[in-house]
Every structure is written in structure tokens, then in C-alpha cells.
Structure 1
Amino acid sequence: MASNMAPKQEQTFTLRLLVDREKNRVVVAEASGDFIDTLFSFLTLPLGTIIRLLSNNQQHDQPAELGCISNLYQSVENSSVEVFWNHICKEMLLRPQNNCEPLCRKLKLNVDDTESLRYFMCSNCKKGSNWLLSTFTGASCCSCGKSMDKEMKLLGDSEDETHTDGVFVKGEAMYFILDDLRVLQSSPNNFVKELTQLGYRNFHKLIDISPCVGLKEILDLLKQALTSKSALSDVFFAYGESLGMCTFSPKIGPKHEEPGFDFGVSINLKVILRKSKKKIVYAEAEGDFVDFLFSFLTAPLGSILNLLDGYSSLGCIDNLYKSVKELNSSRLTITRPSGTPLLDLRVAPQFSYRRQPLKLPEEDTPSYWYGRGLIKNSICYVNPNGVISKKRSLVENPDAMKLFDPRSPDGTRELAVGFVKRPSLFVVWDDLKVMPLANASSICFIQKMNLPLDDLEEHVLCIREVEALNLLRASLTSKAALTEGLSYLLENPNQDAKA
């Protein structure tokens, strides 16, 4: 019997493009707030999600590349589960949680296909006041070792409140998008000003087109936003001349030491330099440095841009971020007391690596409560399976729950370390390909490099906040992140750490 259910129709946008017909370039686009919401949602995506989405959308076997970040992602993919504390840690890096996922679910077109949070308890244990909760599928109970397979529904979550007037921007307004992804409020004055600055005195060379934009075009826009200075033209006129991507030269640092200045967390890193080429060949790294690198994958793009003061040199994504800051606040929906979340993006709870030099903010882990029933209008509705909520007042006889944390040997938050097992040793190549050294032959490793042994020189560097920022910048824009991000330290012997 045939199903009466029609297939779900893909959501699309209709853009109005003003095109220079001689140059085959988009001069300006006009779109509704729904489209701008989807554009701004790019900022909420963790880097690991971006690599995965672009890889799934690639054509003609062209790999999705973003500096060395793609190599980091592939290193996680290619690593055995035994490298990590458990299979969940590997999955966390490959499919990181978007901290704005509840908001992105409300988008007309949401590019992030990451699964929403689910909640699990152990059906075997009856722990009274020490109920254990996991937000990860396939977690093993810390007490009995059995799978936490009892799925629970979270009740009374304030994030489920509906927004009828747009997600990130007010839905009733129209907006201009320039070829370099600057977003402006649509107004006659802004239109005249922008066209005049671009050298157009009339409409003689300009034509109107109205393409239909679906998921493929949106993902193409995401890719071009990170690799091109003319994102709209490169998507809608792929045969046109691209302005290309700006390379970035890391700042020369670090900060000069001052008495009493707190440099925060630091990591010592042993690097092998090829003297004749002045290139770092590889680093011999322990788990803390590898976790630091892997944590790039769980960080939202907007959070990274904020760390870099909006200057990543990645395509034209910086313009999208600056547009959020420069838009009139009356055009932004306020979803937090502090304002739009786009300017305060955080790593999702339990997805960060805290023992590292970068100050990437992590969302506070919420408290969860378990009880025998839901309280509504002073009446308790008993549930035989019990109920969980972030709001203690909604639960009958509430007990605080303990949260399972995959980033530890036994799933306890108190022992949370990182994603990879300790102790462990890795080789990190200049392009940030990561290879575990467990059971590897050092003799074979050196032989395969086929480099003159007397051309290799060892240095131990101290990676603090400034060095970490330089390495992050280089990893986004370079194919030789260690050399581009850290080699300046080798020119100043005083920056070498004591081995």
C-alpha cells in the first residue's frame, strides 16, 4: 500500500541579485531576515561540523580544506578508538554539539544536521540521591558498567520557548548582502551609498536576477565565506574570476614578561627543526598538546573570530561577524540577557578542553534534577519512569543528578582530563596531521622521513596564550601551521622552554 505522506519539501529562499553583466559579478543582493538568520548561523557552527558539512557537499572529489583544520579532522577519523578514553570522545570531535542548536532548529533552513541532545539513565541501577545522567548515546554506567539505555525526556526546558519574530534578526525586515558578505539594513540611502562607492552611477551595466537558493547553495556559500573575498559571485557565477583568499602571517610575540603577570596555562612542546629549510618538520607531543589541537574542532566559528578580534583572514567570514556587531541592535532578536548569542558564542558543555592556553569560553554545565513526577499547577503528575528537568521546582521530591563525562577514565566529572588517553605520545606534523606513537617503531619512523640526520635540531618551546593564538591563526590559513605559527620562537633562543 502506497504511503499518503508526501516527501518533505526542501526549504528554499528567493534572492534578488543585482549583477554586473559585463563582469559576471554580484554587486548586491537583497533578502529577507530568514536568509540572514541562516547566514549568521554559520558563526554558531563548530569547526569540526564545518569540515564535515563541506566534505559531504564536495563535488568532483575535491577535498574540503580549511588550512590545517581538515587534517586535524581526518586525524581523528583515522585514529583508532583506543587512542581516546572511549568511543564517545572520538564522536564528540567528529560531530561536536552546537551550543546554539535549540535556536538553529527554528531556522527556515538549518545547515547543521547534528543530532539534538538526548538524555539517558541506567535502567539497572537504583542509586537514590546519586542518579547518573548522560547526554551521550552509548555511555557505560560508572557503577555497574552496563549501558545507560533508558532514554528520558527533558521537561520544562526554557530553550523550547518559541520565537515568532526571527531567530537572530527581526524577520519582518529586508537586508542587503554585499559580495564580500557585509550585511546592511535595506534602505534607499544605503543602496545609493554602496553602489556609488563601488563606482556605479546608473543601472546601465546592471541586471536583476532572482535565483532560488537551497541547501546546496547555502553550503557553497559557507565554503566561499571561508575561502573567497567574493562569496556571492563565486557561488552564482562560478566561472567568474575569484578574488581569492588572503593569507595570514602570525603576529610576532609573545608578550614581554612582566613581574607578577599571570600567563595562565602553558604547554611545553618538543619540535624538530630542519635547519637548512628553517622549517619545523614535526613535534613530539603528549596528550595535553594534542587535546589542545583537537579542541579547535569543538569551538564555534564565531567564538574563534572573537578570540582573533574579528581578523582571521579567512575569506570574507570576518565581514559577516563584523556585520553582527555593526547592525542596529533594534534589528537583532534578544535571546539572552546580555544580547544576541552571536557575539558571545561558547563551546557546548562538556565539549571543551580546559587545561589549555586559549581562553575559549565553555557554556556552564546545567544542573539536572530527577523526581517521581512533574509538578504543574501545584498538582504532581506521577510518572512510573520518573522525570528529569533543569528546573528543580518542576520535579516532585527532586534529587540532584550527577552528569556522566566522557573526558575521563571512568566517566566522572571530577576526573575529566581531555579526549585522548593519558599517558600517550604523538607525532604532530607541520600540517597538523596527528599520529599516535603507541607500538610504533622509532627506527622506521626516522628512516621513512629520509632526511639528513645532521640537519635535524631539537627545540623545546613553551606554548602560552599568545603562541596558542598564533598557532590557531596559522592552522586556519596555512598548510604549515607549526612553522608559520611557531618558528619565530626559534629565532629567539630565550623563548625555548627548559626541557
Structure 2
Amino acid sequence: MASREETKLPLKLLVDKERNRVVLAEASRDLIDTLFSFLTLPLGTIIRLVSNKHGNDEAKEIGCINNLYQSVESSIDKVFWNKICKRMLLSPRNPCEELCQKLKLKVDDTEPMKYFMCSNKCKRDGDWVLSTFAEASCSCGKLMDKQMKLYGYSNEGSHADGVFVKGGTIYLIFDDLRVLQSSPGKSVQQLLQLGYKNFHNLTEKSLNVGLNEILDILKQALTSKSPLSDVLLGNEEYKKMCTFSPKLGPKTQGWINFNTSIKLKVTVRKSKKTILYAEAEGDFVDFLLSFLTTPLGCILKLLDGNFSMGCMNNLYKSVKDLNPSWFTGSSGTTPLLNLGVAPQFSCEKQPTRLCQQSTPNYWYSTGGVVKNNVCYANSNGVISKECSLIQHPSLMKLFEPRSPNGTRESYVGFVRRPSLFVVWDDLQVTPLANTSSILLLQKLNVPLDDLEEHELKLEETEALNLMGASLTSKAALTEGLFYLLKKPKEEAKA
């Protein structure tokens, strides 16, 4: 099988010769699966992919999420409960990992999940304990570093009928990443809408795209409306397209609402009408850090068209508009429209309606470990040909990596409690432990009588506004929250 670097997928372009622009492209399901997999990538993974592809490339900046990621990178381990927390934020897990491992061209380079137990075979409350991190410390003091075989699942090869979409048709891809099923009628209709009455100025170009091209397309698609032309034709004359405007009313969607609010203090520079920084405890910082573990498709659904991020909105809308019969899921369903944060990677205090994927059950026997969505177990053993080596399985408890003792009950978040932080307008995070407040104020170089402190409460709408601003602005606190400070004055005038 070809290596990750060697895999190439065919793509046929229809190019406007005069404008040097891709009018449309045609591709098979394998390339469409790869493009749709962009939606499954957590923001932390995206930052890593678009920053480290080439050592001499300029990193693609996504609002100020890059600053959040870099704050985690530069933080000392003592800021977090343990080393695993930092690793989780820098290399978050894809909620569709098992599906994405079957892609012919894999974008996500995160290390696949592995399973570990304590070599002493320790139990907790009579149950075996399973960890997905080798660095986890067992209650006996040893590391849980004995790797276990997972039965009934192999990530080799690709899905017989595609990963997200089915074969049996060619798909149209437009320069702004809109995707449609290809047909002569649709092609004519789309070309006419784009202003082409004939093929006089159009030429065909066939090429094969590999990982480098796909990563470049991902990189451009975050800010540009023409990533295919930018990457495949070397057209660098593109306009950055990222917009956001705060919502002032309540957000309503059909997701579970946890009715959680977070309080924080912000310091405003009155003359500039900007938020300089926020003083926050662990709950607010955990909420911000959870942006890194959240898949792009989750964010597009939560913000519901209230912001524009390059042409990723078009990719998400293409999934929504695609005929359900072309998805590989049962009854025309697809996980791409109902993505959640990977199990154990969510934020407990979550003001938005963001959900975590359900945590699977794991079963243990002397032969290995079985996942409940692969093999099914009962008191008489496992009902599966692939898992015939597993006999008399027992249910396992999953080790919570962010907990001091590995139990779900004691989990509180990524950063230690109690702790205080300064979060700057551009989402750089500075722990206040061993940091001089006087020195921080001196570095601001702002007249003290120009500073004003306000207390804010973040509920669903405010949290979503901050999320949208963080992806589109270099001043996330000001763009996402300053409108809250205008409310009392406007109401007083009314």
C-alpha cells in the first residue's frame, strides 16, 4: 500500500484561461471524502497541520486561535493537572478517527488511539481499568503502559463503499469548495450561473493531488474563497474572507443546553473602547482551551451561519444539501452533521450547547479488549467471529486522564484549581502564579485613569460570540464581548 506521502488522487479541472481561475472540478468519492474530513478536524489539529507542514512556510493565522495554541505550547506543565492535559490540547482526538483512518488520503496525522492497562492488572471497585494514554498513573503508582490488543477493528485499507459518501458518481467541486453530484444538467446550470455560455475561454486540466496539495487547500480554505485556484493554479491574488457579527439575542438550537454560565472580570481602555484583558479562573480558561479540542464541523453548526470562515461554510452546507442516499451511513445519515467532541476531550463547564460524543463501553478478557460498537458481549461471551478469542468478558472502566485519581467524579478540567489567569484581547493566556501584576500593568503602558473594570457573565449567546470572534479577529475579547458593556448605556437612554 502507498505511503501517506505517495498517495495521489485524480482531479480534473475546468479552467478559465483568461482569469486563471478554476471554474469547477470533477473528482471521485475518495477526494470528496478527504475534503469532507476537514469538518472532523479539531481546531488544535488544524493549527498544527497548517503551521508545521513546511518549515519555511508562513503559518496560517486563524483569528487568534493560533495564540491560544501557542499559549498551551509555551505553558509549563504545572499549569495543567498533568502532562496528558497539555498533550490532549496540542494533539486533540478526532471524533471520527476510525472513519478517517480509512481515507485513501489521510489529512489528520494525529497518532491513532491506543489502549493500555496497568501491568499489575489493578482493578478499581472490582472492575478492570483501561486508559487511552500510556502516561496515565495507576493507583498502585505504576504507569498504565501495557498496550492491549483491540479486537474487531482494523484501520488498514479503505471502506468498501467510501468513508463518508458513496461511489457510483463523479462529484463537482467549485473553487469555493461547494460540492454537488455531477450530471450534465447540473453542469450546464452551474456554468450558466457562473456566466459561461460556451467553452471558448475554458480549458481542461487533469492532475493528481497528494497530501501536500490537500494540506495547502485546507490552509487556504480557512481564509480564502478560491482555494482551488490559489493552490492548483498558483493564483495568489485572493481576498481574505473571514467575517463575524455578534448575536444579541438568545441562541436556539436542538442540542442539549447545560445552562452553565461563567463569570469573569474584564479591564477596558475607555479612550479606545477596547477590552485589554480579562482576569479569569480555571473555568473560563478551560472553556477557551476547549476550542482546540472542538471539531470544525461542530463550530460551524453552533454558529449557524453567523460567521464566515473562508469557504468552510460552503463545505458544511454541501454536506447538508447532498442527497442523503449518497451517504454511506444507514438510512442516509452521516456523522458530519452531528459531530461532537471526542470522548474525554470536552469541557465540563460548557455554556454552549456543544456535546461530547458518547463514550463507548469496553470489555476485557485474557485475549484482549473489545469495543461495544464492534463486538457485542453478554454473560455467555462475545457474539462475534472476529472476537472469538475473547471469552467471558467483563466491563472495563475508562481512566479519566484529567483526573488526579482517574475517576470521572473527580474530573474538573485541563488546568489546575485554584488558579488565576490573565487572558489578553488576542487570547494569549498568562498564568498569574509567580507573575507580578504590577509588571503586567507597566507593560501595558496605559494611563491608569484610562482603565475601567467590568464584571461579565458568559452564557450561551456570549460564549458563542466569543467563539466566533476568536476565529475571525485578532481582538477576540473586544469583538466578541465589548457589546455587553454598551447595553446599560443604551438601555438608560431608552
Q: TM-score, normalised on structure 2?
A: 0.91
Contact 1:221 1:231 in 2 (8 A): yes
Q: CA deviation at 1:403?
A: 1.5
Shift of 1:25: 0.6
Partner of 1:315: 310
Matching residue within 129, 132, 146 for 1:132 = 129
Which secondary structure state, in structure 1, belongs to the residue aligned with residue 401 of structure 2?
coil
In 1: Cα distance, 2:395 partner to 2:135 partner = 22
Counterpart code for 2:445: N
Q: Which one of 479, 491, 497 corresponds to residue 486 of structure 2?
A: 491
Output one character per residue of 1:301-359: Cα deviation in whole Å (capped at 9) or x when no partner: 1111111114430001101100011111122111x568111111111100001212011
**Match in the other structure for 2:42:** 46
For residue 345 of structure 2, what is the aligned residue in structure 1? Answer: 351
Alignment-derived partner of residue 386 in structure 2: none
| CA pair 293-329 structure 1, distance change in 2 beyond 3 A | same
Shift of 1:388: 4.7
Amino acid at match of 1:357: P
Distance 2:460 2:305 in 1: 17
Instruction: State the partner residue of 1:431.
Output: 426
| Stretch deviating more after TM superposition (347-356 or 118-127) | 118-127
Deviation digits for residues 220-248 of structure 1 (CA, Å, limit 9, x no counterpart): 11111111011111112333521431322
Partner secondary structure for residue 247 of structure 1: strand
Question: Sequence identity of aligned pairs in percent?
Answer: 65
TM-aligned CA distance change 1:453 to 1:126, over 3 Å = closer
1:17 and 1:472 mapped to 2: Cα distance? Answer: 36
Question: Structure 2: where are the runs of 5+ without partners?
Answer: 383-389
* Distance verdict in 2 for CA 1:159–1:415, change over 3 Å: farther
Q: 1:170 to 1:425 in 2, by over 3 A?
A: same
The two structures, once aligned, show a CA RMSD in angstroms of 2.4
Partner of 2:391: 396
Between the aligned partners of 1:478 and 1:323, the Cα distance in structure 2 is 26
Q: What does residue range 295-444 of structure 1 map to in structure 2 within 5 Å? A: 295-334=290-329, 339-372=333-366, 383=367, 387-390=369-372, 391-393=376-378, 394=382, 395-444=390-439
Partner of 2:421: helix, strand, or coil?
Answer: strand
**Matched residue of 1:227: which SS?**
coil
Give the residue type in structure 2 aligned to 1:442. S
1:283 and 2:278 are equivalent in the alignment: yes
Distance between the aligned counterparts of 2:226 and 2:165, measured in 1? 23
Distance 1:281 1:368 in 2: 47
Change (3 A) 1:399 1:160: farther
Distance 1:308 1:202, change over 3 A: same
Q: In 1, Cα distance between the equivalents of 2:395 and 2:66?
A: 40
Among 6, 14, 17, the alignment partner of 2:13 is 17
Distance 1:301 1:211, change over 3 A: same
**For 1:492, what is the secondary structure of its paired residue?**
helix
Question: Using a 3 Å threshold, how does the CA distance of structure 1 residues 345 and 158 change in structure 2: closer, same or farther?
Answer: farther
Q: Is the 8 A contact 2:115 2:150 kept in 1?
A: yes
Distance 1:53 1:279 in 2: 32
Separation in structure 1 between the aligned mates of residue 4 and residue 62 of structure 2, nearest angstrom: 32
Structure 1: how far apart are the matches of 2:116 and 2:408?
Answer: 16
Whether the 8 Å contact between 1:461 and 1:495 is mirrored in structure 2 is no
Q: Are the aligned partners of 2:33 and 2:164 in contact in 1 as well (CA < 8 Å)?
A: yes
Instruction: Report how many residues are paired.
Output: 473
Distance 1:55 1:293 in 2: 20
| 1:100-139 equivalences in 2 (<5 Å) | 100-127=96-123, 129-139=126-136
SS at match of 2:308: coil
